[in-house]
Amino acid sequence: MAEPETPEEFAPVDWEHKRKRGRSKVPGAPDWPKGVHPISLDGIALIGVDDAGLLYWDGRPVEVRRRLDLSRSEKWFAIVVGFFTILGGAGAVAQGWAAAHQWSCQIEAVSWHCPKK
């Protein structure tokens, strides 16, 4: 049997029927949030993907959000790392300023606080 090549050759779909029966009547797993049901076989027709690979349910984009939750020790570690990063940056600025001042004294571009020869 040859597969249809154009949308006109497909059998018409009763989308209202698919939407009404999109969820299974079976209750979800005990650890699922209240009101969440498994997808029925008719509901699989409501899942779609666009050309960019984004997932859609009944024409609406599916958004997945995950919040970053750190433990107390991870927060303290992040604070310590941030502090030492800032301290290291300040040290690099001080070292750069000292090197630039020494170089400008050597080429006699400045005479302010330069060691006497």
What is the tens place of the pLDDT at every residue in 14-60? 777 777 767 777 777 888 888 887 887 878 888 888 888 888 888 88
pLDDT of residue 8: 63
| pLDDT at 6 (0 to 100) | 64
The pLDDT, as a whole number, for residue 85 is: 98
Token reading at 15: 């989308």
Which tokens belong to 114? 């330069």
| pLDDT for position 79 | 97
User: Is 3 within a domain?
Assistant: no
pTM flag (> 0.75): no
In terms of residue numbers, what domain contains 114?
66-117
> What is the C-alpha end-to-end distance of the chain, expressed in Å?
98
User: Cα–Cα distances in Å, from 76 out to 67, 83, 84?
Assistant: 18, 11, 12
Q: What is the pLDDT of residue 98?
A: 93
% of the chain at pLDDT higher than 70? 91
User: Quick one: pLDDT band at residue 95, thresholds 50, 70, 90?
Assistant: very high
Number of domains in the chain: 2
Give domain status of residue 99, yes or no: yes
- Does some domain include residue 106? yes
Cα–Cα dist 58/61, whole Å: 8
Q: Are residues 75 and 92 in the same domain?
A: yes
Q: Report DSSP state, residue 115.
A: P
- The greatest distance separating any two alpha carbons of the chain, rounded to the nearest whole angstrom, comes to 98
